[in-house]
Amino acid sequence: MTEIKARSLSGELVTLSGERLETLQTQIRGEVIGTDHAQYDDARQIWNAMIDRHPAMIIRCTGTADVVQAVRFAREQNLLISVKGAGHNIAGKSLCDEAVLIDLSAINYVRADPEQGVLIAGPGATLGDVDHEAQQYGLAVPVGINSTTGVGGLTLGGGFGWISRSHGLSIDNLLSAEVVTAAGERLKCDASHHPDLFWAIRGGGGNFGIVTSFEFRMHPVGPMVMSGPAVYPFDQAFSVLQAYRAFCEKSPDELTTWAVIRDAPPLPFLDAQYHGQRVLIIVALYNGPMDEGEKMIAPIRHLGQPIADGFAPHPFAAFQQAFDPLLTPGSRNYWKSHNFAALGDELIETLVDYGGKLPSSQSEIFVAQLGGAINRVASDATAYPHRDVEYVMNVHTRWDDTHQDRDCIGWAREFFDATKRFATGGVYVNFISEDEERVDGAYGENYARLAKVKSDYDPDNFFRVNQNIRPG
């Protein structure tokens, strides 16, 4: 193994001898991957193709012991590190030029215990892995909406999806976690053990350690759920969104309804003449008995005059994968996001205005309905503070040609600025893009406590390649 140069915590390049790297390889079961390794380029790829960074080396871990050794190695050499789970973070914080990448993607086990109603997952597991195991027993953990997303990063930021109005965020269902600290120590944390650390990792991101195991509470869901989309022509978007707002205000917790403005994908139930046309899609899932779901979802068909209706019983695990084809890796992605307490007419008008000017055929505006069980948790009960939010808007700007970078990013920023006056000022940390400095907005009044926990568990800011909370 040849020597490499890596960036130190103080900024200079440090030479690591081939002998030292070979010693590290004997201390872990995984693999030490240098820049000359055949798998280096594959190992450094992440979901967002806008992010093209070159770590000095990659330590591919297979379990907690490997993570402990990787952290201790980096501390001994005073090296800058980044941490990768499934590599789905929009900002690409799992990669850093010339840093040591601690890669958790191979720690992807999932074990469901239906008798105890708990599920244990490794940090490299995806939402699809979790759904597959839990749904064998008609159970589920509240997670996100794209099955290739990593459960680790999603959970550390909060985690919401189709059943969160019924059962809360991913972090509201986290029972315990195993954490490797900046000192290279393994800690078990829960409500009784290191409760301050347990509080902080529930929404505070990867600032406090590397979580190597997540224990979740599961809930009965499906396995069949009434779900699907109704597709409306774009010229009805304003009136349908007004009707959507009124519908959401009366929705029970079991019903979650999201609105999406985009060019119509080739949905099997949508006439081909509409493929590629600008549309408004209202997507819903009812987490309860099928007959109740049919009654609850039926009014969505009458918010306007739809051109297609895909509401039907679907396997929950399959519905969780329904949007995967629109979010495959390899494209360039840039997001902007706001939280809203309400959807006023002026906001709806702005959504429709910018929805008519999407900068690429893959771009979309989605508005997710939150509330329900999420908002019955106190804002200071977890690091995630946004317990008064009814809607999250995320602007998915997505394209393939680098020549479109300026137009796509510029449109997203302009749209973000145009909707800022309607927003709460907060933001979901998992939706913060690479260029943003909105960490204060992500944590609000919880930031000071998070800074104190950071000082207790990571006083040197060893874990800094993230949406960073500084010790304080």
Chosen domain end from 53, 85, 103: 103
Would the pLDDT of 418 be above 80?
yes
Q: Tell me: do 28 and 97 sit in the same domain.
A: yes
Q: In the chain, how many domains are there?
A: 3
pLDDT value at position 2? 86
Would the pLDDT of 233 be above 90?
yes
Q: Tell me: do 278 and 312 sit in the same domain.
A: yes
pLDDT value at position 435? 62
Mean pLDDT of the chain: 96
Q: Tell me: do 289 and 359 sit in the same domain.
A: yes
The predicted-structure confidence for 121-174, as pLDDT tens digits, reads as follows 999 999 999 999 999 999 999 999 999 999 999 999 999 999 999 999 999 999
CA distance 119 to 112: 4
Q: Tell me: do 382 and 243 sit in the same domain.
A: yes
Local structure of 43: helix, strand or coil: helix
CATH at residue 378: 3.40.462.20
Answer whether residue 436 is part of any domain. no
Burial of residue 160 (number of CB atoms within 10 Å: 0-12, 13-18, 19+): buried
| pLDDT cut 90: percent of the chain above it | 97
CA distance 467 to 115: 37
What string of H, E and C letters represents the secondary structure of 1-37?
Answer: CCCEEEEECCCCEEEECHHHHHHHHHHCCCEEEECCC
Local structure of 339: helix, strand or coil: strand
Q: At residue 335, what are phi and psi to the nearest 5 degrees?
A: -115, 150
Would the pLDDT of 243 be above 90?
yes
Cα 432-433-439 angle, rounded to 5 deg? 40
Would the pLDDT of 227 be above 90?
yes
CA distance 221 to 180: 32
CA distance 450 to 471: 8
Q: Tell me: do 85 and 203 sit in the same domain.
A: no
Residue type, 169: L
Range of the domain at 61: 4-103
Answer whether residue 438 is part of any domain. no
Would the pLDDT of 98 be above 80?
yes
CB 199 within 8 A of CB 87: no
Taking the model in full, what pTM does it have?
Answer: 0.96
Answer whether residue 466 is part of any domain. no
pLDDT value at position 437? 73
CA distance 19 to 21: 5
Chosen domain end from 71, 103, 135: 103
Q: Tell me: do 207 and 256 sit in the same domain.
A: no
pLDDT band, residue 440 (cuts 50/70/90) = confident
Pairing of strands 81-84, 100-103: parallel
What string of H, E and C letters represents the secondary structure of 207-258?
Answer: HCCEEEEEEEECEECCCEEEEEEEEEEHHHHHHHHHHHHHHHHCCCCCEEEE
Q: What is the DSSP letter of 427?
A: -
The predicted-structure confidence for 170-221, as pLDDT tens digits, reads as follows 999 999 999 999 999 999 999 999 999 999 999 999 999 999 999 999 999 9
Answer whether residue 414 is part of any domain. yes
Would the pLDDT of 434 be above 80?
no
pLDDT band, residue 436 (cuts 50/70/90) = low
pLDDT band, residue 438 (cuts 50/70/90) = confident
pLDDT value at position 1? 76
pLDDT value at position 456? 98
The predicted-structure confidence for 357-387, as pLDDT tens digits, reads as follows 999 999 999 999 999 999 999 999 999 999 9
